[in-house]
Structure 1
Amino acid sequence: MMKKYLLMLGAAPIFALAACGGNSNGGTDAMNSGDTVTNLPAGEAMGDNMGAMNGMDGNAMAAAPMTGQVFANTVAASDAYEIAAGKLAQQKATTDGLKDFGKDMVEEHTKSTAKLKTAAGKASPAITPAPAMTEEQQANLKTLQSATGAAFDTAYKSQQVVAHEKALAAVQAYAGSGDVPQLREFAHDAEGMISKHYDKIKGM
């Protein structure tokens, strides 16, 4: 995707390919059940790194160091946002292209979450990703929930471009200098998926 992202993420929010510390899986579990997830707690375990990511551009996020836990939380939050937003796109988008893109986001970021959990579980000590969305991600979902028609399409596309920029920066940064080998490998693999999504939404 881009050469700068997330949410994503030297300390990006993203991600779907997108969370906070702790062992709560509420966000992801709720999303997998088919419910729309909003207003998840930011989670103290995300700490200052996650809070600082809100409003930061991809370069700033990529420059900030991330621990394995922060990276796992960031990707989990990004995935949670992408899944929830994708479900809204399937319901509310006015074009088949955006509806299909939303479907892809739900399917592929659900797979991303599963791969993240597997990689994090192999770390020593094991890491449990916590998919608590950032304030920015929660606000974005509220915007999508209230938007209709062409306004929804515009908001969704705009959000997706930014979210994938942040996510790309995050995985690229961690793949290059992450402290947990299993998560570095995950980040490297996730880069291709996120880049594909970024290119697709930019072209729509």
Structure 2
Amino acid sequence: MNKSRMMILGLALCMSMPAAMAQSIPEKAGINSLMGVAPRTADFIKIATVSDMFEIQSSELALQNHDPALADFATRMIEDHKKSSAALRDVVRSGNVQIAQPTGLDESHQDMLDKLKGLHGRDFALQYRSDQIEAHQDAISLFRRYGESGENASLKTWASNTLPTLENHLRAAQALPQ
């Protein structure tokens, strides 16, 4: 399906749904990303929180895998994403945002983590690399869109300030052994 058909389908879907749901479904389906539309604040917080949790948990698995080629990267992911999680919690608490952050992974990230748990050696390293690249590409899109057009000024600033770190993470993930 070409981009214009996807956009038309997405717009039709949005217009046929109640207003409260119209913004969440397009974010989840990737339509907002395709169109460059900022996520709702609730979506941004949920997705950023789950993304950090996945980065931390998958990187902890990478350290348990005892692959020296992954160790430095995984350690950096754990440290940076723990800092990011703490900073996001602080912004949410101090920014008059009445949105509860998720406490666990969503189904798709849990499936990715479960898949990693079943892999070892080179198979693990290749899947971990692939997951890290995909996760950081998604995060960069999310943070860029929210930083440019998000609803909450504090979160917009935080997203924009976090973006360069995510871009560095993507480059580092792409440099992992293939």
TM-score range, shorter chain: 0.7 to 0.9
Aligned to 2:166: 194
Aligned to 2:92: 120
1:162-196 per-residue CA deviation (whole Å, 9 max, x = no partner) reads 00000000000000000001100110111011011
CA distance in 1: counterparts of 2:116 and 2:150, whole angstroms: 33
Task: Give the TM-score, by structure 2 length.
Answer: 0.79
Q: Which runs of 5+ in 2 are unaligned?
A: 1-20
More contact order relative to length (CA 8 Å, sep ≥ 6): 1
For residue 104 of structure 1, the aligned residue among 63, 76, 90 is 76
Deviation at 1:125, TM superposition (A): 4.2
Larger Rg: 2
For residue 156 of structure 1, the aligned residue among 125, 128, 131 is 128
CA distance in 1: counterparts of 2:131 and 2:66, whole angstroms: 14
2:46 pairs with 1:73: yes
Deviation at 1:139, TM superposition (A): 1.1
Aligned to 2:28: 53
2:87 pairs with 1:90: no
Q: Which runs of 5+ in 1 are unaligned?
A: 1-45
Secondary structure, counterpart of 2:39 in structure 1: coil
Secondary structure, counterpart of 1:133 in structure 2: coil
Identity of aligned residues (%): 24
Aligned to 1:182: 154
RMSD: 2.5
Secondary structure, counterpart of 1:124 in structure 2: coil
Matches within 5 A, 1:131-170: 131-170=103-142
- Preserved contact between residue 74 and residue 131 of structure 1 (Cα < 8 Å): no
CA distance in 2: counterparts of 1:89 and 1:58, whole angstroms: 32
CA distance in 2: counterparts of 1:146 and 1:50, whole angstroms: 31
- Preserved contact between residue 27 and residue 43 of structure 2 (Cα < 8 Å): no
Aligned positions, number: 157
- Preserved contact between residue 23 and residue 39 of structure 2 (Cα < 8 Å): no
- Preserved contact between residue 171 and residue 187 of structure 1 (Cα < 8 Å): yes
1:59-113 per-residue CA deviation (whole Å, 9 max, x = no partner) reads 42x634422122111110000000100100001152x231211111111101100
What letter matches 1:86 in structure 2?
A: S
Higher share of residues assigned helix? 2
